[in-house]
Amino acid sequence: MWRILAIITSVLLVAACSNMAAQKRMENLDGALDSYGAALRWAHYQDVLSYHLNQDGKRPVIEIDKLDDYSVTGFEITERVLNEDQSEAFIKSELVYYHKEYGTVRKLRLNQNWWYSEEAKHWFVETAFPEFK
């Protein structure tokens, strides 16, 4: 009888821990997306670039000086789809920006693949850096 009770308790504890880890990853994703959007709006492009990391460890090469010509006025998440274990997320968003010289407001729809690094305890975006035109 004690063995059965011990097994049931162990299973419940493992399930609870797994659920808490997934919940923590979700909270981290929310924070990462908020920070990413804020860094875009405030033109902290080094911070934005720190999120861009492929799962193979490669980072995109971006000419940050060219980004100074643009100003981002909005970043809105329109859809989130997570895999079963909540270690990868497909994020659809809209980025609103303008060229400082011409003043034309444009919208850029982004489809980004985010992944969670268990080692770094951090979310990264594997999709290319947004391309302003």
pLDDT at 21: 75
pLDDT at 16: 45
Beta bridge partners of 2: none
Report d(CA 17, CA 32) in Å as an integer: 22
pLDDT at 31: 95
pLDDT at 62: 87
Q: What are the pLDDT tens digits along the chain (133 aa)? A: 656 544 554 444 444 445 667 788 889 999 999 999 999 999 999 999 999 999 999 998 888 888 999 999 999 999 999 998 899 999 999 999 999 999 889 999 999 999 999 999 999 999 999 999 8
* Cβ atoms of 22 and 80 closer than 8 Å: no
The angle at the Cα of 120, spanning 118 to 121, to the nearest 5 degrees, equals: 60
pLDDT at 114: 98
Report d(CA 106, CA 53) in Å as an integer: 26
Is the whole-model pTM more than 0.85?
no
